[in-house]
Structure 1
Amino acid sequence: MTATVGALAPISRAACVGGGVIGGGWIARFLLAGIDVKVFDPHPAAQRIVAEVLANAERAYGMLTGAPLPKRGRLTFCASVAEAVADAQWVQESVPERLDLKRRVLAEIDAGAPAEALIGSSTSGLKPSDLQAGLAHPGRLFVAHPYNPVYLLPLVEIVGGAATTPETIARAKAVLDAIGMKGVVIAREIEAFVGDRLLEALWREALWLIKDDICDVETLDDVIRYSFGLRWAQMGLFQTYRIAGGEAGMRHFLAQFGPCLQWPWTRLTDVVDLDDALVEKIGGQSDAQAAGLSIRELERIRDENLVGIVQALKAGQGGEGWGAGRLLKEFEQRLWAQAGGGAPAPDPTAPLELLEIRVSPAWIDYNGHMTEHRYLQVFGDTSDALLRLIGVDFAYVEAGHSYYTVETHLRHLGEARLGEALTCTTQVLAVDDKRLHLFHRLFAGPERREIATAEYMMLHVDSRAGRSAPAPEHVLAKLRAIADAHAKLETPAAVGRAIGQKTRLAAPV
């Protein structure tokens, strides 16, 4: 991942008290947003666990986006809560779900954190008003309930208590937005908020289905992941049912299926007895379903699948993105805009290294390698990186001018595998008032295997007039400086090559 100077978020220092599954995810999310994080967790394996979560998060981000992330924040483990929170701007508490424990820890945080620091609790069900009891500064405490994995799933339920100030909620939303998360404000506090209440209903019914031997855990998971789980990933519940109502929409759906709610289908009002026999039954079926895969292996599979889904949603709606994909697209645009002002200029005496990215699960074809149209995407992204370097950025395009690709020749020389690091270089071959002639080379892996090349001809256009136009002098000056330096480089042998050159196929007879 390409790093740039400075962080996008309106904070630069965070503290995380608790570094387990959720706390570790928060740590990774903050660090990869360029925020320094201090951690307190008395667990003897805390540093190992956090390191493993962070490694998975970095792997996932490498597949998720090619946008230049800020330089990774500094990670520091502390010996006490007071030391961890002493200079924090945001403190995230992620200790076990016990009210007495959380109150004690939050009191320590409240006593040691700066007066202006935000304090979020990762609780999945406790009301913030109950957590605020006894605090000296209750107005800055709120629930910030995320979903696992925190570094990939963007939603955070923001729930204020009776004493939480509107300013606290607004500041929390701004921080979450800046680190690529979706802060959803829940209007009234209630135990378990919104997401966990929905999950609890499904979970309770699922336990009865297993206990009553209607199905096993794998069958139940298959029912979810091969049907409504796919719909929920991009449209949620109500919008899905709106479509189910046909042209008459939601009102028709409610009229048609509303009476079903009175039928005695559900056992939601009963609580299943999780006795030893049922626990062992579920545990044994879950072990069989995992087929020997470790938790870390399952986490990586989950992350790859999530990346693929989000990438697909990013390309939806005619390229505008949909749901979590649109959120990612908007976050990447801010990252690119930030990078334009702070990224160090590449060495002009060599082909420019403009793009570093990893092969995403969404890019893999039926042969298990990167599918061919993704090569073109990587080369296109590299061309975009060059354009940003010379000042042809989002603002330039919105003003009505850009460079359009008018001719491309791409050679496939090798294969790229899932998760493999890719580096793309650019050599400027020629420049005039309207035309830009480029040669890209794509390398894979630490050994930098050359796996593809692409020759590009681009034309500067007035997009509003719909015709070519001379580029402005400030853009041409930057291009000429690079072209003059690259004129001293050896011209790649493949420049000007035609398809099948030297190995032309015989004409059919």
Structure 2
Amino acid sequence: MARKAAIIGGGVIGGGWAARFLLNGWDVSVFDPDPEAGRKIGEVLANARASLPALSDVPMQSEGALSFATSITEAVEGADYIQESVSERLDLKHRVFAQIQQSSHGVPIGSSTSGFKPSELQQGAADPSVIFVAHPFNPVYLLPLAEVVPSAQTDAGLVERAKETLREIGMFPLHVRKEIDAHIADRFLEAVWREALWLVKDGVATTEEIDEAIRMGFGLRWGQMGLFETYRVAGGEAGMKHFMAQFGPCLTWPWTKLMDVPEFNDELVDLIAGQSDAQSGMHSIRELERIRDQNLIGFLRVLKERNWGAGKVLLEHDALRRAALPVPVPGTGPLEMAHLTVLPGWIDYNGHMTESRYLFAASETSDAFLRFIGADVAYVGTGYSYYTAETHIMHLGEAKLGDALTGSVQVLAADEKRLHIFIRILKGGEAVATLEQMLLHVDMAAGKTCAAPKAILDRLLPIAAAHAPLPRPEAAGRHVGQRKA
């Protein structure tokens, strides 16, 4: 049975939370009195559907059910997790928590607040122990960070369970050890924002020039190394001590105005807003969101390939969901061995999956089968492996961005040295490609074929025997250019 998340407040952040939970298989109930909430969340969800699956190498779970409640009571009924994302007004949040706790008992209540401390949120609450900060970053459905901030009154066990829930939906819960106004990340953003306002007000730079300074320089470093690791590298071979000795004195120089705030008046607002409109006003907000999302996918997938930073979170989430996939059970039919999603980088100029990715999908399928019979990475480390000697591919259909693919294996023949398999790459149960492969068991040090060990043959040969009565695929044994019957 699907678990339920209640989202109170359906703005940009609440909509992002709803999308994150929905696309990870949770049912979601949203309460927001805004009559446009349904449309706004629908647009956020459309962006999420077009982007979040592109970060995963495991098919997304079946999407949960989205509903819109007419009251907070209706939204939180039966909820396993509640996320509050209403406006940054403490009195409003207190009223919302009071209404939530009239109907929910013991259910974790995370707040998306960017500034209030949990102890402030808990004031006057019927049960302060279940209230904590879970502060995300926009877009919530792509960026993994959630600052989790408890207070002394928050139930420590409940917070740990809430952190596990966040990990299950692909987020990185950063446990803030001591509550403080604006938590951790927003304190940095506030410092940079404050300095940026002065630079624009004083005519030193425009909004566009400041953005260029960030995205062409240190923003790229911060995105994969953060602050301290970046400066550690800047210190050269001597590391952080050298960096601090070299640049530490600058802290006393009047470089910034961090302790001074420009007067917030109509003139400053018009100046900033006017420059911002000139910078990117040719794009709608939805267009900017889609541009942002596609750029983030590219950055995050590069980090994923390197198992670094936010990419490590994506890999761990893939592993978590891969472990939940059904284990293949040898029987009388082909074995489903791989589940993949067509990603943006797999698409050619025609908008279809490019030829090399059909081979990649087949490779993932055959590798999964080899692991299944015991010829895994650890086995290769002993000096033996299966090598592909021949492959014949037939392209039968088209796959497009976001399509879920399944790779199945039918063993045509097997003996001590040879493994003859037929792979089907399926979309919705129909083959978009088939591949016939002959693999040879090899002693890598000797550079020649040899018999596979009993442990592998004991897994392989019963599957071959079970598959022997299956109809031989029409494509098996074909040569290139052979006419269809």
Q: Secondary structure at the match of 2:114?
A: coil
The letter of the residue matching 2:466 is A
The letter of the residue matching 1:79 is T
- Residue 473 (str. 1) matches residue 449 (str. 2): no
- Residue 491 (str. 1) matches residue 482 (str. 2): no
> Paired residue for 2:271, among 281, 284, 306?
281
Q: Deviation at 1:287?
A: 2.6
Determine if contact 1:16/1:38 at 8 Å carries over to the other structure: yes
Aligned length: 476
The letter of the residue matching 2:147 is E
Aligned to 1:28: 19
- Residue 209 (str. 1) matches residue 173 (str. 2): no
Cα distance, 1:38–1:208 mapped onto 2, change above 3 Å: same
Tell me how large the CA RMSD over aligned residues is. Answer: 3.8
Q: Deviation at 1:219?
A: 2.0
Q: Deviation at 1:338?
A: 0.6
Aligned to 1:118: 108
> Paired residue for 1:457, among 428, 438, 448?
438
* Residue segments in structure 1 that go unaligned for 5+ positions in a row: 1-5, 503-509
Cα distance, 1:422–1:140 mapped onto 2, change above 3 Å: closer
Determine if contact 1:424/1:442 at 8 Å carries over to the other structure: yes
Q: Deviation at 1:336?
A: 1.1
The letter of the residue matching 1:190 is I
Aligned to 1:330: 316
Aligned to 2:403: 421
- Residue 359 (str. 1) matches residue 343 (str. 2): yes
Cα distance, 1:135–1:68 mapped onto 2, change above 3 Å: same
CA displacement, residues 346-379 of structure 1 (integer Å, 9 cap, x when unaligned): 9948x97954422325x56899987776554333
Equivalence map 1:155-166=2 (5 Å): 155-166=145-156
- Residue 68 (str. 1) matches residue 59 (str. 2): yes
Cα distance, 1:422–1:337 mapped onto 2, change above 3 Å: closer
The letter of the residue matching 1:322 is W
> Mean Cα displacement is larger for which, 421-430 or 63-72?
421-430
> Paired residue for 1:218, among 193, 198, 208?
208
> Paired residue for 1:177, among 167, 174, 182?
167
Cα distance, 1:134–1:352 mapped onto 2, change above 3 Å: closer
How far, CA to CA, are the matches of 1:462 and 1:271 in structure 2? 71
How far, CA to CA, are the matches of 1:397 and 1:271 in structure 2? 63
Q: Secondary structure at the match of 2:324?
A: helix
Q: Secondary structure at the match of 2:325?
A: helix
The letter of the residue matching 2:366 is S
How far, CA to CA, are the matches of 1:402 and 1:296 in structure 2? 53
Q: Secondary structure at the match of 2:181?
A: coil
> Paired residue for 1:297, among 283, 287, 293?
287
Aligned to 1:506: none
Aligned to 2:144: 154
Aligned to 1:340: 326
Determine if contact 1:38/1:77 at 8 Å carries over to the other structure: yes
Q: Deviation at 1:286?
A: 2.4
Q: Deviation at 1:330?
A: 1.5
How far, CA to CA, are the matches of 2:24 and 2:205 in structure 1? 43
> Paired residue for 2:420, among 433, 437, 455?
437
Q: Secondary structure at the match of 2:299?
A: helix
The letter of the residue matching 1:299 is E
The letter of the residue matching 2:6 is A
Determine if contact 1:16/1:37 at 8 Å carries over to the other structure: yes
How far, CA to CA, are the matches of 1:80 and 1:462 in structure 2? 68
Q: Deviation at 1:268?
A: 1.3
How far, CA to CA, are the matches of 1:440 and 1:198 in structure 2? 52
Q: Deviation at 1:229?
A: 1.3
- Residue 381 (str. 1) matches residue 372 (str. 2): no
> Paired residue for 1:37, among 16, 20, 28?
28
Cα distance, 1:219–1:71 mapped onto 2, change above 3 Å: same
CA displacement, residues 14-46 of structure 1 (integer Å, 9 cap, x when unaligned): 211011111111111111222222211111011
How far, CA to CA, are the matches of 1:291 and 1:25 in structure 2? 23
CA displacement, residues 172-230 of structure 1 (integer Å, 9 cap, x when unaligned): 21211222211111111111000000111111111112222222222221211122111
Q: Deviation at 1:149?
A: 1.0
> Mean Cα displacement is larger for which, 457-466 or 90-99?
457-466
How far, CA to CA, are the matches of 2:164 and 2:347 in structure 1? 35
Q: Deviation at 1:426?
A: 4.7
> Paired residue for 2:246, among 256, 263, 266?
256
Cα distance, 1:177–1:488 mapped onto 2, change above 3 Å: same
Cα distance, 1:271–1:63 mapped onto 2, change above 3 Å: same
> Mean Cα displacement is larger for which, 253-262 or 44-53?
44-53
How far, CA to CA, are the matches of 1:281 and 1:415 in structure 2? 55
How far, CA to CA, are the matches of 2:116 and 2:183 in structure 1? 9
CA displacement, residues 383-410 of structure 1 (integer Å, 9 cap, x when unaligned): 345567x676989979989974434647
Determine if contact 1:396/1:402 at 8 Å carries over to the other structure: no
Aligned to 1:267: 257
Q: Deviation at 1:429?
A: 6.0
> Mean Cα displacement is larger for which, 473-482 or 363-372?
363-372
How far, CA to CA, are the matches of 2:264 and 2:32 in structure 1? 30
How far, CA to CA, are the matches of 1:393 and 1:180 in structure 2? 30
Identical pairs, percent: 47
The letter of the residue matching 1:336 is R
Cα distance, 1:427–1:161 mapped onto 2, change above 3 Å: closer
How far, CA to CA, are the matches of 1:422 and 1:173 in structure 2? 29
How far, CA to CA, are the matches of 1:488 and 1:262 in structure 2? 79
Aligned to 1:406: 388
Determine if contact 1:353/1:423 at 8 Å carries over to the other structure: no
How far, CA to CA, are the matches of 1:393 and 1:147 in structure 2? 42
Q: Deviation at 1:127?
A: 0.9
Q: Secondary structure at the match of 2:45?
A: helix
The letter of the residue matching 1:113 is S
Q: Secondary structure at the match of 1:307?
A: helix
